[in-house]
Amino acid sequence: MRYIKATLIIVFSVLISACTATNGEGIFTSSQTQNASSTKVIKVDQNAGKATQTKVNWLLNGQEGVEDRVQFLTNLDDPTGKTNIRIDDLIDTMQTREERIKYRGSQVDVGKITSDGSRMAIIRDVYGEQPEEPFIIEVYDLDAGEKEREFKLPPTAQYPVVSSDLSKYLYVIDGHLYVYDAISKRTTELNTKKSKGDVSNIAQGVFSPDNTKLCFVGDQTGIVMLDLSGDSGTKRLLAGTDVSGIIEWGQGNQFIYTTSKNDNTFMNDIYSLDIHTGKVKFITKNEGDFILSPDQKKLVLADDEVVKIFMIDVASGRKEDISSIVSGEGTWVVPIQWIETKTNYMKYANKIEVKKITASSTLPNQSNYSFNVNNLTDDNNLTPWCEGTKGGGVGETMTIDLGSIQEVRGMEMVDGIIRVNNKYLDVNTIQKMKLDFSDRQSIVLENNDTRFKLDEPIRTSFIKITILEVKKGTDFPNTCIGELKLL
């Protein structure tokens, strides 16, 4: 998300023996404590919602091919696609005002959600003025609405991987592999000399269910397995097999992995491996990014050829298009994790009801195009509202009537898109605007902000938006907005 400049005007007022230590860089021997770690607990309204009584299937998925990657939790059991929440919006409700200001503009990625869906670790990348800003790890209890802990990895740490219980964090520094234990607050360097693998590949690695081992695909055939307890060293599984990826390490030491075909089909075969017996079982084929359900009976596939999401029954091969479930989350969405949980994630959502929306002017309909102001809230970015003046839009207003006092946490705005004869027209876009609220507060937004969060929620019955500056388009003289969404 682009940097947001907002002016607030208030009228009324995861161990192998070889260990090393460095000072001041966050790397310690197994006998040292990481003093840089900190623990914070932040509570949210406990009346906002409770865990559901039955388990619900949720999909952690993320946008690909965009400048600022966004992740969502989406209810797979709701075919309407309306039960979803952005990860950054979920986290925002458990932050203090100071944290919202401090972390504004940072990138948030989910490191792992526990198998029961009740806890989550995120990796925050803060884009600062320094060339190497440290990753910040935050762990949340999603049932209680509390932040359990927060700590920083060393500034040069790369490829962080989170254990299934959120207690261990592996990362690479200058080709060396380290594991940080968040419980003991100790960091240990792992001896990876025998693995003969590129440790940078741990980014796609997975922990064992008991979090004592890590497997990843090295630069040779098979799979590298590291013993994090320091007893057994390194092993290589499936030597001679061209393993392309590791999907999961399930209970009972069942390992799910893929192999690639050396052809032009990009087709992968999915197998399970019993680590104790060495028995390999074929599951199915796939092409694209996918995840398996916890019982391995279903598969969610992102087909980038047709840009659709499919639910596939593994036994029968039956394929169901479920793209509508994630239709509001971006054009190219890929699945990351399947969670069965009783945790109610939607208690962190802020659903705002809009009574009506009006505008000071509207461009008359042209051919098959309607530029009605109600297009701003129709959940379709391709149907914009356009102002109807000859001056380009400066001074024009939109008023969102909420009908009652409601809590607003921010706003998302999508630039207008007009396509004529297979060409996207270059229209005027807003560069600066003013927001007025019923409590007499005002905010001025600059730098073409498309999404912003308030430092503190505002309770208001309306929002009046005034266009202050625009960037002139070369094909269309009017200012257009594709969608407005209150957060």
Closest alpha carbon to 455 in 100, 210, 59: 100
pLDDT at 280: 87
> Could you tell me the residue ranges of all domains in the chain?
14-348, 356-486
- Whether the pLDDT of residue 340 is over 90: the answer is yes
- Whether the pLDDT of residue 10 is over 60: the answer is no
What's the pLDDT band for 183 if we cut at 50, 70, 90? very high
Handedness of CA 469, 472, 476, 477 (dihedral sign): positive
**For residue range 146-160, what is the model confidence (pLDDT) as tens digits?**
999 999 998 888 888
Torsion of CA 414, 416, 421, 422, to 10 degrees: -20
**For residue range 347-395, what is the model confidence (pLDDT) as tens digits?**
998 878 889 999 999 888 887 788 888 888 887 777 888 888 888 889 9
Element (H, E) at 101: helix 97-102
Calculate the average pLDDT of the chain.
78
- The helix/strand/coil state of 424 is strand
287, two tokens: 């092409």
Q: Looking at per-residue confidence, does 386 or 126 come out higher?
A: 386
What's the pLDDT band for 332 if we cut at 50, 70, 90? confident
CATH superfamily for domain 14-348 = TolB, C-terminal domain (2.120.10.30)
pLDDT at 125: 84
**What span, in angstroms and rounded, lies between the C-alpha atoms of 98 and 102?**
6
Closest alpha carbon to 261 in 273, 270, 248, 274: 270
Cβ-Cβ contacts under 8 Å for 163 (sequence gap 6 or more): 14, 112, 169, 207, 211
Closest alpha carbon to 409 in 437, 431, 430, 374: 437
Q: Looking at per-residue confidence, does 416 or 458 come out higher?
A: 458
- The helix/strand/coil state of 315 is coil
pLDDT at 45: 42
pLDDT at 58: 95
Task: Concatenate the DSSP letters of all residues of 197-248 into one string.
Answer: S-GGGGGG-EE-TTSSEEEE--SSSSEEEEETTSSS-EEEESTT--EEEEEE
Q: What is the mean pLDDT of residues 179-193?
A: 84
Q: Please answer whether residues 386 and 362 qualify as being in contact, where contact means their C-beta atoms are separated by less than 8 angstroms.
A: yes
310, two tokens: 């499919």
Burial label for 47, CB within 10 Å (0-12, 13-18, 19+), is exposed
Task: Concatenate the DSSP letters of all residues of 159-194 into one string.
Answer: EEEE-TTS-EEEEEETTEEEEEETTTTEEEEE--GG
pTM: 0.75
Q: Which amino acid is at 112?
A: K
474, two tokens: 């070369």
Least confident stretch, 70-74, 204-208, 219-223, 457-461? 219-223
Q: Please answer whether residues 453 and 411 qualify as being in contact, where contact means their C-beta atoms are separated by less than 8 angstroms.
A: no
For the sheet containing 158-162, what is the strand order? Answer: 158-162, 168-173, 176-181, 186-190
Q: Looking at per-residue confidence, does 24 or 238 come out higher?
A: 238
* CATH topology classification for 356-486: Jelly Rolls (2.60.120)
- Whether the pLDDT of residue 176 is over 50: the answer is yes
